[in-house]
Structure 1
């Protein structure tokens, strides 16, 4: 098929690679403009742009697609379909109507469970045990289009946002290749999304990542996993920021944020209910360290506190 592909991050790049490998004609790639990144804030190409350039595919990077002038590069392509994955720019109806088979979205949720920008993180945060990929026929709404195919996967107790992202990126790439191979049939049998069970997966905010030790260990475990790698769960110790990268719930009782015990492989901290055994953490300006390495270079004591809990 002749395809216009629209996407930006790694999740989308996996799908683009799969479509190229499947032999489809990628006539144009849309991706967001290069953005400042890293300590030097150097303009950096998106993962999708890098894949496109590696395969000599034309790239178009508009800020928006609202005006006729912005849409003009799409008009002469005569594409069969547009495939969209984590593009980050709203497609107006004029663009949705351009390809012969319309626009298909690779969405990282079992719709309508999580519509919006951060379905992977919100699923972990909510304690979902299952998620997946929905191939959706796009309409003008926010992830409201009809569903062409649904692909389920489990959220394991140790999954964080990165590991789940990687599983879903692989699953999404395979799902879109399969969908295009049977597209007319899938469009003929597509399902309208249910009107119940709809949730909006809001974009992550850095302030959400501040650990409240009065929450239960179960809640904090989900939070730490959902915000790994971004924006990363954070607390403080001796007045300095401290990132918590890996932890798991355990038995324990004390005041919220109190260090209960220092074990070889974990630092046990009391929560509002239960406790967390922290196995990987990072001081401001330091490296990510396992608990044992962290304790070797830092003097922690039981009875000290993490965060801003109610201290004696």
Structure 2
């Protein structure tokens, strides 16, 4: 008999797992997700991706602001669920909640634990130049991604992968992995994480997304990939932010931040070591576009200096 599953999650990454769990025929008596948030130009309240998916399947949804109250814990207990699956939920699970399901709480984490515990594992893996990442299904405990690992599923990071592309690959990998583990939940044998190789994937900030042109081109390209789509690696042009969405390393040298070559098809900016050739760019208030489209109406001239994180931009 398949286990009964409480599901807790919020964004697309989690919604894919919920869809897969439902499609596999598991009973989901309750779905937890974050409260509706204002979004878009009108700042209208918008439901999370998980809420949309849950309602599509006719599932019961709750959106508590905390799981620490006796009331919500009683509701969870009353579901008599065998297991809770958690994916990018956004709320801490107190020990009282971790203890409720028969098989505890399983987390879908987007890294190869113990590397990149924390909030932004996909982005930090790309930024650090990791050649592979993946998804781990973890038995949750009270620590920050410190629980024993049930299964790991690897993904090779391509040289031009952005965070968005890795996210989508791991989203499907995680959905498949959690279904496979739920189907054999009686036989799972969690393995404690090693204390060797622990790293933390700290939350991204807009400030750190500003490009420092004195850094090597390879490092800058990794940052551009890691911060695409959010918050977007950026520099300053005409006193406004200019986001660089895609770029590659090229072997030119010059003063960091200076545009060395500029025409309708090419935009090369010098870095501390080597240079980058920008392939996709986005100015303030506009959509991302190819360099060819951008240069057609917004010519960046050779010799222009783009502001660096080292300046007062």
Tell me the TM-score normalized by structure 2: 0.96
State how 1:19-168 maps to structure 2 within 5 Å.
19-168=21-170
Whole-Å separation in 1 of the counterparts to 2:266 and 2:44: 38
1:287 offset after TM fit, Å? 2.5
Alignment of 1:264-275 (within 5 A): 264-275=264-275
Measured after TM superposition, the shift of residue 288 of structure 1 is 1.6
Unaligned runs of 5+ in 1: none
In the alignment, which residue of structure 2 is the partner of 1:170? Answer: 172
C-alpha distance in 2 between matches for 1:48 and 1:157: 31
Deviation at 1:70, TM superposition (A): 2.8
Q: 2: distance between equivalents of 1:178 and 1:12?
A: 16
Partner of 1:269: helix, strand, or coil?
A: strand
Distance of 2:276 and 2:4 partners within structure 1? 52
Distance in structure 2 (CA, Å) of the matches to 1:109 and 1:299: 40
- Classify the secondary structure of the residue corresponding to 1:25: coil
Query: How big is the shift at 1:263?
Result: 4.4
* Residue aligning to 1:207: 207
- Does the CA contact (< 8 Å) of 2:264 and 2:296 recur in 1? no
| Counterpart position of 1:255 | 255
| Alignment match, 2:292 | 292
- The 3-state SS of whatever aligns with 2:137 is strand
Structure 1 position 203, deviation (Å): 1.0
3-state SS of 2:28 partner: strand
Q: Give deviations 1:242-297, integer Å, cap 9, x for gaps.
A: 11111111111000101011244331000011100001111112232211111110
Q: Aligned runs of 1:178-197 on 2, under 5 Å?
A: 178-186=180-188, 189-197=189-197
- Coordinate RMSD, CA, aligned: 1.1
| 1:301 maps to 2:301 | yes
Q: Which moved more, 1:195-204 or 1:299-308?
A: 299-308
Q: Does 1:244 align with 2:244?
A: yes
Check the 8 A contact 2:265/2:295 in 1, yes or no: no
Distance apart, 1:205 and its partner CA: 1.0
Moved more, 67-76 or 203-212: 67-76
Render the CA deviation track for 1:82-127: whole Å, top value 9, x for unaligned: 0000001000111111111110000000000010111000101111
| Equivalences, count | 308
Runs of 4+ in 1 over 4 A off after TM superposition: none
Q: Could you give the per-residue CA deviations for residues 158-201 of structure 1, whole angstroms, max 9, x where no partner exists? A: 11110000000000000000001111212xx3211000110111
CA distance in 2 between counterparts of 1:240 and 1:114 reads: 33
Q: Which moved more, 1:70-79 or 1:153-162?
A: 70-79
Alpha-carbon distance between aligned partners in 2 of 1:89 and 1:253, rounded to the nearest angstrom: 47
Q: After superposing the two structures, state which structure 1 stretch, 288-297 or 9-18, moved more.
A: 288-297
